[in-house]
Amino acid sequence: MSLRPDSSPRPARILVVDDDRRSASATAQWLCSCGWHAVAVGTVAEAVRIAARGGLGGCLIDAGLPHDGAATVAAAARAAAPAVGVVAMMPAEVLAPPPAWSDAAVALPASDQALVAALEGALAAGAGRAVAATDSPVLGSHPALARILDIVDRVAATPATVLVTGESGTGKSLLAREIHRRSGRPGRFVEVACGSLSESLLESELFGHVAGSFTGATGDREGKFLLADGGTIFLDEIATASPAMQVKLLRVLQDMQFEPVGGSQTHRVDARVVLATNENLEALVAAGRFRADLFWRINVVAVEMPALRTRASDIPLLAAAFLRASATRAGRLVEGFTPAALDALVAHDWPGNVRELQHAVERGVFLGRGAWVEAGDLPAAVLGVSAAGLAPRVETAPPLKQALATPERQLIVAALEQAGWRRDVAARTLGINRTTLYKKLKRLGMDLATLEPAR
């Protein structure tokens, strides 16, 4: 296998990220000597700044970066360039399975051939992922989302009913569309917002009606279930259905038969049913507000969409997608986010989830004047100030990095004392390898010569 990139006129630009800057520089220099274009960095912040500029073809990232730094860098790189291929550089003893944020992994120390093979595999995977992502409305590489999409892959082609739960704005409707897309069903995707309709209107909306069945029914009308025949029907806000409607839905879900309002002809359909709610249905069942038999009928395959605050590593990718769409609609050329703007987006807790993020990015694009969305273009709430912009949000707790450092030092010292100050034994006690322990000691500024008692 050749160690040089293919004969394309512009080889992929590679970012090498390792908090051991000397090691990162050596890897980058070797890649450059082989014909690649490579640059080395030693901090997560520096890596994110470079990644946000775009233009990367691949990343080699030390999987041991502190505080999920590797996942943060990978997300920032993919936000700017969805086709970027990411390689996790990992100690051999923890190589399997590779992290969810990576396209490939390589054991350290790696041979030249192994390193290039992993890099080329990641580049190919990144290109394939970018092609697939153009068709998929669900974006993100967080492990929680990856697990959900794995479930979707396994059940999409089956007739199983799927119940999607999660907070408002997490993308339950998008997931329903993705289930339909992957199902291969030839019929259409039909969505019904149950919470926006009264009981009588919802019944007509779902099952249709015949002329004269009620005031204003001047003609026959097909319902959504009939329109979804051969496809998928998505019932959003299912918890709002009245007790009478729950009875009707139970019958339809059991045998896929129904009669239109005011009619006697029974229709039978073949429709995949996906339902969604942001309420706790089990609690509603216990309170007598939701039928237990209907709950067990729809709770065949249940997936919970994670809140955006629990998958912050996906924020750069989502924000970049919203930026591209908003810039197209605004007819503007917008390159991306400034580092301060991206930091503000990642730091916000997003009570409105993905929907709030989308609206925040749209505001930044529509109000911004330059080629980059700046922090000042974002909503006040995202920046941590009051609606009037008068008072900053008060930070009552120390920075996360500072707060985590103290207990981490204490755990390391306790493990060393228990191991008689043997580094290898202490590392095993902590569940890490010796190299990672040395890196943590260096990062925390811990000098063992001053900590270890004299013998």
CATH of residue 415's domain is: 1.10.10.60
**Is residue 265 a part of any domain in this protein?**
yes
**Average pLDDT rounded to a whole number, residues 120-126:** 83
Q: Is 124 in the same domain as 164? A: no
Q: Is 157 in the same domain as 233? A: yes
Q: Is 325 in the same domain as 296? A: no
**Is residue 412 a part of any domain in this protein?**
yes
Tell which of 253, 282, 304 closes a domain: 304
- Reading the block at residue 67, the tokens are 């505080």
Is there a contact between 139 and 178 (Cβ–Cβ < 8 Å)? no
**Is residue 7 a part of any domain in this protein?**
no
**Is residue 209 a part of any domain in this protein?**
yes
Give CA–CA dist 103/300, Å, rounded.
32
pTM: 0.58
Phi-psi domain of 67 (left: phi exceeds 0; alpha: psi -120 through 50; beta: other): left
Q: Is 207 in the same domain as 290? A: yes
Q: Which CATH number covers residue 111?
A: 3.40.50.2300
Q: Is 147 in the same domain as 242? A: yes
**Is residue 392 a part of any domain in this protein?**
no
**Is residue 1 a part of any domain in this protein?**
no
337 against 126, higher pLDDT: 337
Task: Calculate the alpha carbon distances from 263 to 225, 252, 259 in Å.
Answer: 15, 16, 6
Percent of the chain with pLDDT over 70: 84
Q: Is 262 in the same domain as 322? A: no
Mean pLDDT of the chain: 81
Number of domains forming the structure of the chain? 4
Tell which of 277, 304, 331 closes a domain: 304
Q: Which residues constitute the domain of residue 418?
A: 400-451
pLDDT in tens, 180-218: 988 888 889 999 988 888 877 888 888 887 765 666 666
**Is residue 128 a part of any domain in this protein?**
yes
**Average pLDDT rounded to a whole number, residues 292-308:** 93
Q: Is 239 in the same domain as 374? A: no
pLDDT at 297 over 70: yes
Q: Is 339 in the same domain as 239? A: no
Give CA–CA dist 48/42, Å, rounded.
11
**Is residue 68 a part of any domain in this protein?**
yes
Q: Which CATH number covers residue 209?
A: 3.40.50.300
Give CA–CA dist 376/93, Å, rounded.
46
Q: Is 247 in the same domain as 123? A: no
Q: Is 77 in the same domain as 41? A: yes
- Would you state the pLDDT for residue 307? 92
Q: Is 188 in the same domain as 82? A: no
Tell which of 245, 280, 304 closes a domain: 304
- Would you state the pLDDT for residue 387? 44
Q: Is 293 in the same domain as 179? A: yes
pLDDT in tens, 70-119: 888 888 887 677 778 899 998 876 656 778 788 888 988 888 888 988 99
